[in-house]
Amino acid sequence: MKKNVLYMLLSVFSIQGTAFLSQLILAGVLSTENFAIVRTAESTLQLLSTIAPWGMSLLVIRLASQEVGHEEQGKALTSYIALAGISALILAAIGALILTNTASQVSSYLSILIWIVVLTSLSRTSLNYFYGKEQFGLISVVTFVTSLVSLMLLVVLATRWQLNGWVASRYVTELIVLGIAIMFVRGNLIAKLLTKVESIKALAEGMAVSLSLVLRSAIENLPLLIFAYLSADQSAIATYGLCTLLITGAMVLPGSIISVLLPRYGNMQKNAPHQIPAQHAKYERIVILVGAAVALLLVGTGYLVAHVFSEKYAGLQPYLTAIALIVPVRAYMIINANVLFVHQKTATGTKINFAGAASVALLSFALYFPFGLWGVVVGTVLVEIGSALFFKHHSKGIIASECPALAIAVSGAFPRSNDAPSVTRASNHG
């Protein structure tokens, strides 16, 4: 597993880590007002990118981990990628139409950047097929090298042309990743598509996955968007935006480990379900310990960031110290959401994430007025903890109901079968 985690780290850094570092660079290169625009636009794009593939980017992981015929798998893979591209194109067109009637700096940049969701949907769905196949080696190295090139390009373009350079570098990066994804996946595609009935079934399941994902993304991004809407203090918005950016970077390591583990859940569920209780308890301990270690490192990094950026982010450290708790909590939530995903319990995950998104919106509004930025931070942390506990509660119920004898034996980590709730799928991101 260690080798796969290292490969996954390279791959995640290539796609997500480069985005994180690029924004960290922009925080230093741009003014706080322009960086606030970047963070608001990127948070919106992250939310849209979650919806755009219509759940196909996760369904393809499960497809790859299943033992089916080459033609059947190729037909499904081709259809999933096509559906992801079409749904993203429709979403981008609708978004562009709405943004043309909105007058603001953020909207003007978003109207240009929104077509990126088509590129990310196609590349993410294609690359995730290889994650499901646990083929992390070659693809991670190539994407890592190309992303380093794009990172250097960002430094040049953003330094020279500021926000316009940022926009250009985003498109170049996504085009590079898409080109690589197509190069690797083309040998697995065939000139056949799913039948109409099969496509409708895939779209229905994808809609459930997409809804759960977008609600999860809302939990992560709504506080920033609400705070940006309520606050006239661009410096405070930039400070909170930098905190959330550092959290995103901190999740790369635990997220990579969880991504490596996801196909194992699919294999165990199909071939050896009796192994799930003991293995899940082991995986929980791993991601919690890694998440806690990364959170401590993040707190220390905050001092360095505040020092490097001098007076622009002088008040960063107290907020970052509080919000760093999210890292192990979110890792714990995702590993339990994996159990729901492989057992196709999307409805359960969607309900939890809907409650979380509604709660974070209400708490952000309610706590902002008496407590300002601290209220938004505290509300966000509380919602993350609540979501993690609910996912844990339902994953315990699933495991206990399917493997009651083993569930009792795993050091009390799972409830007795008569305590297990009756649950009737969520993504690996909740």
Instruction: Give strand ranges (E) for 152-303.
Output: none
* Joined tokens for residue 371: 């407590």
Query: Counting Cβ atoms within 10 Å, is residue 340 exposed (0-12), middle (13-18) or buried (19+)?
Result: buried
Contact 322, 312 (CB under 8 A): no
Query: How far is residue 119 CA from its own chain's centroid?
Result: 16
Q: Is the pTM of this model over 0.85?
A: no
Grouping H, G, I as helix, E, B as strand and the rest as coil, residue 325 is: coil
Residues 373/235, Cβ–Cβ less than 8 Å: no
> What mean pLDDT is predicted for residues 187-199?
88
Backbone torsion region of residue 271, taken as left when φ is above 0, otherwise alpha when ψ lies between -120 and 50, otherwise beta: alpha
What DSSP assignment string belongs to 139-160? HHHHHHHHHHHHHHHHHHHHHH
DSSP at 69: -
Residue 266 has pLDDT above 80, yes or no: no
Q: What's the pLDDT score for residue 256?
A: 81
pLDDT per residue over 105-163, tens digit each?
888 899 999 999 999 999 989 988 887 777 777 677 777 877 787 788 888 888 888 89
Give the pLDDT mean for 337-347. Answer: 81
Question: What is the pLDDT, as a whole number, of residue 30?
Answer: 86
> Cβ(258)–Cβ(287) under 8 Å?
yes
pLDDT at 421: 30
Confidence of residue 417 (pLDDT cuts 50, 70, 90): very low
pLDDT in tens, 383-394: 999 999 999 999
Of 19, 24, 376, nearest to 222 by C-alpha is 376
Please state the rounded mean pLDDT for residues 419-428.
Answer: 32
Q: At CB < 8 A and 24+ separation, what contacts does 196-205 make?
A: 198/79, 199/79, 199/83, 202/56, 202/59, 202/76, 202/79, 202/80, 202/83, 203/54, 203/83, 205/55, 205/59, 205/344, 205/346
DSSP annotation of 274 reads G
Winning range, highest mean pLDDT, from 23-27, 72-76, 90-94, 264-268 = 90-94
Q: Give the closest residue to 187 by CA, choosing from 260, 129, 136, 132.
A: 129
Per-residue confidence band for 405, with pLDDT thresholds at 50, 70 and 90: very low
Report the pLDDT value the prediction gives residue 334, as an integer from 0 to 100: 92
Question: What does the DSSP 8-state code read for residue 310?
Answer: G
Q: What is the pLDDT of residues 21-79, one digit of tens each?
A: 777 888 888 888 888 888 888 888 888 888 899 889 888 987 887 767 778 889 999 99
